[in-house]
Amino acid sequence: MMRTIWISRCLLLLLLSMAVTSSALAQTTDTLPSWNEGAAKQSILNFVAAVTHERSPDFVPAPQRVATFDNDGTLWPERPIYVQLAFALDRVKALAPQHPEWRDRQPFKAALDGDMKTLARAGEHGMLELVMASHAGMTTDEFARIVKDWLATARHPKFNRPYTELVYQPMIELLAYLRANGFKTFIVSGGGVEFMRPWSEQVYGVPPEQVVGSSIKTKFQMRGGIPVLFRLPEINFIDDKAGKPVGINEYIGRRPIAAFGNSDGDLEMLQWTTKASGRRFGLIVHHTDAEREYAYDRRSSFGRLDKALDAAAVNSWTVVNMKTDWKRIFKFQ
Amino acid sequence: MMRTIWISRCLLLLLLSMAVTSSALAQTTDTLPSWNEGAAKQSILNFVAAVTHERSPDFVPAPQRVATFDNDGTLWPERPIYVQLAFALDRVKALAPQHPEWRDRQPFKAALDGDMKTLARAGEHGMLELVMASHAGMTTDEFARIVKDWLATARHPKFNRPYTELVYQPMIELLAYLRANGFKTFIVSGGGVEFMRPWSEQVYGVPPEQVVGSSIKTKFQMRGGIPVLFRLPEINFIDDKAGKPVGINEYIGRRPIAAFGNSDGDLEMLQWTTKASGRRFGLIVHHTDAEREYAYDRRSSFGRLDKALDAAAVNSWTVVNMKTDWKRIFKFQ
């Protein structure tokens, strides 16, 4: 009897160890299933093999395997408008009853009327006004709640689905594949850091402390013995273009060995990442699929890809053709 | 024969699993060996048990186990002067030949003469001038090299040892103990972030991306096709006092459940960490050992501990008496 128990216990242990082995094998087989075979996928696999195999001349120790990802247009759509702008417009509508003066004041009037032409003409300054009016004036905890509540109900106008279902499945697989190979994955986005952090862990597997983004200033206050951080209508940091390497250095403090973007806003991040000693990897997502998503590049006002596309050719960065390189774009497709 | 192999293979697996269990036991036995038994040590053990045992009413999932540590006076000495100030003074001396005007200009003259009285009178503005002159005007890579080179040769005036050997052994054990229990440990210091990052991983086991600190601005530049970040003589962020919760929110994006400090500069971090729902932990290192280190608190100009000491009593934060709670302060003792 004793012996039977002993052996069945052994059997259990062996089965467990076999299960671990076969799941590791399965993982290898299923690497990046939403990517079509081709040069783009192969360049990723080659790079990861080169920096992770201990005998490779390009081996990089795990703690230095830092990979940075842009968000808008790289991990989820930025068309017809940035998701965060859709959020700001909805917030302005929700707050309008407390601001009767907005009915006659631009860019608020345009926001309330859904007049995108006038909004576009309001330019960066106008956008900033909308962001300040909709993103400041509450505590950080309150803002996180507002973001979560909005994401739970808001729908993308083309796909009629929650934005969090519109993350690019091939990129989700890529994030997980890099992490499985000892990489630490960071988001480095021009978007607001406190707009992304409430959901980045659940949706991307990227915890809040690995999200770098633009921010407004906050102020520490004691309110009846309770500490709060109050969001002020003042820009703190813009994490875009030349701001991306600055933000990477300030918030991460390590130089990435791989960077992933989709627009000219990512050019300096890609340069900072790849133009250094040792094996490096740069990748640009090129929006070429008007049917399954959107097609735009050099002449787009949102997510323009012009200089960075030229730089990709010069620097041998991988350019992903969404139409041909991705089997599917979204999980539901 | 087949059966013998089978059983010996099982035996091996069982032995392996037993080895894992006994090493876990050994770890428990050796927890915090440089801490004397007492209320301070017990409060740490109780807190960690409460938030890590899955059936505990105070259980906190691992990703939310964020612990933040001040650096100067909490992890290493801040007397007779801040280590970074010693660095700045040495840098000013090294740069003096290129700046003949410093011989007649304060606070540089005082720095060059080692006239600490005049330096102290120069106050915060004077210190800032010294920091700007010694910390800006080079690339981030160059600065990291300067810091490493200085730490390799500089010695503490009282202990005549490299500063990196003067980290508090009980706190090193505490950092490791928390990490072994699923905590992510961060440094949140008033000191310069780029002064700490080049050595934080090796000395504290805290990687650069988990170091938050004060910073000056940097600028991205292409120099002959090579991207660099150039350090500008302009304050970017001061991570002290009410700046600590702001920095924690901006750089980590998660509220800590445990915070460790030693001075009034840590008061707001301790409030932000402990005055929230769920089990929380605050700890203050009280410098009470003039013989083995230094003794100072309410009337000190470096690392004054006054308001935070009063707040510790009100908020039931643990106050570590360095003289009686720590078996040894440094590893070499």
Most distant CA atoms of chain A, gap in Å:
87
**Could you check whether the bond before residue B162 is cis, i.e. omega within 30 degrees of 0?**
no
pLDDT band at A301 (very low <50, low <70, confident <90, very high): confident
Q: What is the pLDDT of residues A252-281, one digit of tens each?
A: 999 999 999 999 999 999 999 999 999 999
Between helix A267-274 and helix A307-315 the angle, nearest 10°, is: 20
The enclosing H or E element of B211 equals strand B211-223
Dist. CA A63–CA A183, nearest whole Å? 8
Mean pLDDT for B158-181 is 98
Q: Could you tell me which residues are beta bridge partners of residue B261?
A: B284
The answer, yes or no, to whether residue B152 has pLDDT greater than 70, is yes
Is B235 in CB contact (< 8 Å) with chain A? Answer: no
CB B310 within 8 A of CB B275: no
The answer, yes or no, to whether residue A156 has pLDDT greater than 50, is yes
**Could you check whether the bond before residue B170 is cis, i.e. omega within 30 degrees of 0?**
no
Please tell me the predicted confidence (pLDDT) of residue B9.
53
Q: What is the pLDDT of residues A29-86, one digit of tens each?
A: 678 999 999 999 999 999 999 999 999 999 999 999 999 999 999 999 999 999 999 9
Interface confidence (ipTM) of the complex: 0.90
Q: Could you tell me which residues are beta bridge partners of residue B76?
A: B72
Please tell me the predicted confidence (pLDDT) of residue B28.
52
The answer, yes or no, to whether residue B92 has pLDDT greater than 90, is yes
For residue A261, what is the DSSP state?
E
Q: Which residues contact B73 (CB under 8 A, 6 or more apart)?
A: B262, B263, B285, B287, B302, B303
Give the residue from chain B lying closest to A256, CA to CA: B209
Distance from CA of B208 to the nearest CA of A (A): 5
Is A84 in CB contact (< 8 Å) with chain B? Answer: no
pTM for the full model? 0.91
The answer, yes or no, to whether residue A3 has pLDDT greater than 70, is no
Please tell me the predicted confidence (pLDDT) of residue A8.
54
Specify the residue for token string 């934080």.
Answer: B200
The answer, yes or no, to whether residue A120 has pLDDT greater than 90, is no
Inspect the interface and report whether the beta carbons of B246 and A219 lie closer than 8 Å.
yes
Inspect the interface and report whether the beta carbons of A268 and B227 lie closer than 8 Å.
yes
User: Integer distance in angstroms from the first to the last C-alpha of chain A?
Assistant: 55
Q: Could you tell me which residues are beta bridge partners of residue B231?
A: B218
Please tell me the predicted confidence (pLDDT) of residue A302.
84
HSE toward the beta carbon, residue A141, CA cutoff 13 A: 9
Lowest mean per-residue pLDDT among A22-31, A244-253, B35-44: A22-31
DSSP string, B96-133: GGG-GGGGGSTTHHHHHHT-HHHHHHHHHHHHHHHHHH
Dist. CA B141–CA B194, nearest whole Å? 10
Please tell me the predicted confidence (pLDDT) of residue B120.
84
Residue from the list A13, A193, A220 with its beta carbon closest to the beta carbon of B10: A13
Residue from the list B140, B215, B253 with its beta carbon closest to the beta carbon of A193: B253
Percentage of chain B with pLDDT > 90?
Answer: 86
CB A220 within 8 A of CB B246: yes
The answer, yes or no, to whether residue B27 has pLDDT greater than 50, is no
The enclosing H or E element of B22 equals helix B2-29
- What are the angstrom distances between the C-alpha of A10 and each of B6, B7, B13? 9, 8, 8
Interface of B with A in 89-148 (CB under 8 A): 140
Dist. CA A73–CA A96, nearest whole Å? 30
pLDDT band at A26 (very low <50, low <70, confident <90, very high): very low
Q: What is the pLDDT of residues B278-296, one digit of tens each?
A: 999 999 999 999 999 999 9
Is B246 in CB contact (< 8 Å) with chain A? Answer: yes
Query: What is chain A's mean pLDDT, rounded?
Result: 92
Burial (CB < 10 A; 0-12, 13-18, 19+), residue B139, is middle
Please tell me the predicted confidence (pLDDT) of residue B8.
54
Please tell me the predicted confidence (pLDDT) of residue B125.
87
Q: Give the pair of three-digit tokens for residue B317.
A: 């934060």
Please tell me the predicted confidence (pLDDT) of residue A123.
84
Chosen for mutation from B64, B140, B209 (greatest number of chain A CBs closer than 10 Å) is B209
Q: Which is higher by pLDDT, B22 or A178?
A: A178
pLDDT band at B301 (very low <50, low <70, confident <90, very high): confident
Distance from CA of A249 to the nearest CA of B (A): 8
The answer, yes or no, to whether residue A6 has pLDDT greater than 80, is no
Between helix B140-153 and helix B83-95 the angle, nearest 10°, is: 100
Q: Which is higher by pLDDT, A194 or A16?
A: A194
Please tell me the predicted confidence (pLDDT) of residue A291.
97
Q: Which residues contact B142 (CB under 8 A, 6 or more apart)?
A: none
Is the dihedral angle over the CA atoms A121, A122, A128, A134 positive or is it negative? negative
CB A72 within 8 A of CB A151: no
Please tell me the predicted confidence (pLDDT) of residue B18.
46
Inspect the interface and report whether the beta carbons of B63 and A227 lie closer than 8 Å.
no
Mean pLDDT for B103-129 is 91
Query: What is chain B's mean pLDDT, rounded?
Result: 92
Dist. CA B112–CA B110, nearest whole Å? 5
Q: Which residues of B touch A10 (CB under 8 A)?
A: 6-7, 9-10, 13-14
Inspect the interface and report whether the beta carbons of B209 and A9 lie closer than 8 Å.
no
Is the dihedral angle over the CA atoms B102, B143, B186, A268 positive or is it negative? positive
For residue B136, what is the DSSP state?
S
The answer, yes or no, to whether residue A132 has pLDDT greater than 50, is yes
Q: What is the pLDDT of residues A50-66, one digit of tens each?
A: 999 999 999 999 999 99
The enclosing H or E element of B219 equals strand B211-223
DSSP string, A135-149: HSSSBHHHHHHHHHH
Lowest mean per-residue pLDDT among B27-31, B66-70, B172-176, B194-198: B27-31
A to B CB pairs, distance under 8 Å: 112
Specify the residue for token string 């927890």.
Answer: B31
The answer, yes or no, to whether residue B77 has pLDDT greater than 70, is yes
Count the helices and strands in chain B (H runs, E runs): 12, 7
Is B252 in CB contact (< 8 Å) with chain A? Answer: yes
Mean pLDDT for A169-177 is 98
Q: Give the pair of three-digit tokens for residue B166.
A: 């003067």
HSE toward the beta carbon, residue A77, CA cutoff 13 A: 25
Specify the residue for token string 């991307």.
Answer: A204
Q: Which residues of A touch B276 (CB under 8 A)?
A: 227
The answer, yes or no, to whether residue A21 has pLDDT greater than 50, is no
Is A208 in CB contact (< 8 Å) with chain B? Answer: yes
Distance from CA of B195 to the nearest CA of A (A): 11
DSSP string, B35-82: BPSSHHHHHHHHHHHHHHSTTSTT---GGG-EEEE--BTTTB---SS-
HSE toward the beta carbon, residue A316, CA cutoff 13 A: 9
pLDDT band at B124 (very low <50, low <70, confident <90, very high): confident
Annotate A49-63 with b (16+ C-beta within 10 A) or e (fewer): eebbeeeeeeebeee
Is B86 in CB contact (< 8 Å) with chain A? Answer: no
Helical segments of A181-277, H only = 193-204, 243-247, 267-274
Q: Which residues contact B23 (CB under 8 A, 6 or more apart)?
A: none
